[in-house]
Amino acid sequence: ELWDTPRTGAPSSKGGVTVWQHNDGVQDQPVFYVSRDGSEPEVLLDPNGLSDDGAVAVMVWTLSPDGARLAYTLSEAGSDRQVARVRDTATGEDLDDELRHLRFTNLAWWGNGFFYSRFPDLPDGDVGLFENMSVHYHRIGDAQSDDDLVFANPEAPSLGYVPEVSDDDAYLVLTEFDGTSHETGLLYAPLPKGDGPFTRIV
C-alpha cells in the first residue's frame, strides 16, 4: 500500500521539449510523457506495452539537445545486455536506428548522434564475458556497423568506459572502471574529433 502511490520522475527539457516519467501507482513501469512549449502532456513511450509479459524495461534514456529525439535502451528479463533505439518526440515513432550489444553504458548526445559503449558481437543468448568494452559514435540514420570506433583499450580488456560530453560540447570524457572496484579513472579528448589522443586526468 505504501508503494502503490503515484510518483513522477525529474523532467528533462531541451529545445522547448520536456520529457519525464510518471507511474500512476500500480504500473509495473513508469510511462514517458512529452510536452512541447507547455502543451498538454502526451504519452511518448509506454514500456508496459513493449512485451506481453512486461519483462522489457527502459534502462537508460536521454533527450537530444534540440528535443527532437529520445534515445533509450531496452533490457529484457532483467538482463544487463541492452538494445538502444531512438524515438521521434513529435511523432512518437521509433526511427530505424537499432544498436545492439550494449551493457553498462549511457547515451551521450553530440552533433547528429551520440556516443555509447558496447561489447563485441555475440550470438543471442550468449552473455559473454565482461571484456573488450569499446566506445563508439552513432550518427542518426546510419547502420551500427558504420559507427565510428572512438576508444578501445585491448591491453586491459577487463576495464570499462562510460562516455559523457562536456556541457560546452567541447570534450568527450570517459569514466574508466574495473568491475565493482571503487577505483576509477578519467580521460578526455577534444571534440569534434573525439577519437584521441585521450588525456588521462586520474
The three-class DSSP label of residue 52 is coil
Between CA 73 and CA 103 the distance in angstroms is 10
pLDDT reported for residue 3: 79
CA-to-CA dists, residue 44 to 19, 25, 87, angstroms: 8, 19, 8
pLDDT over 70 (residue 195): no
Q: Locate 164 and state its grid cell.
A: 559523457
pLDDT reported for residue 177: 93
Rounded to an integer, the average pLDDT of 3-26 is 93
Rounded to an integer, the average pLDDT of 93-110 is 94
Beta-bridge partner residues of 114: 109, 138
Confidence of residue 121 (pLDDT cuts 50, 70, 90): confident
pLDDT over 90 (residue 159): yes
pLDDT over 90 (residue 135): yes
Confidence of residue 125 (pLDDT cuts 50, 70, 90): low
Confidence of residue 56 (pLDDT cuts 50, 70, 90): confident
pLDDT over 80 (residue 50): yes
Tell me whether residue 1 is exposed, middle or buried, using C-beta atoms within 10 angstroms of its C-beta: 0 to 12, 13 to 18, 19 or more.
Answer: exposed
- Determine what percent of the chain is predicted with pLDDT higher than 70: 94
pLDDT reported for residue 80: 74
Between CA 36 and CA 11 the distance in angstroms is 13
pLDDT over 90 (residue 94): yes
Rounded to an integer, the average pLDDT of 83-112 is 94
pTM: 0.89
pLDDT reported for residue 101: 87
- 87 vs 182, residue with greater confidence: 87
pLDDT reported for residue 126: 61
Rounded to an integer, the average pLDDT of 29-38 is 92
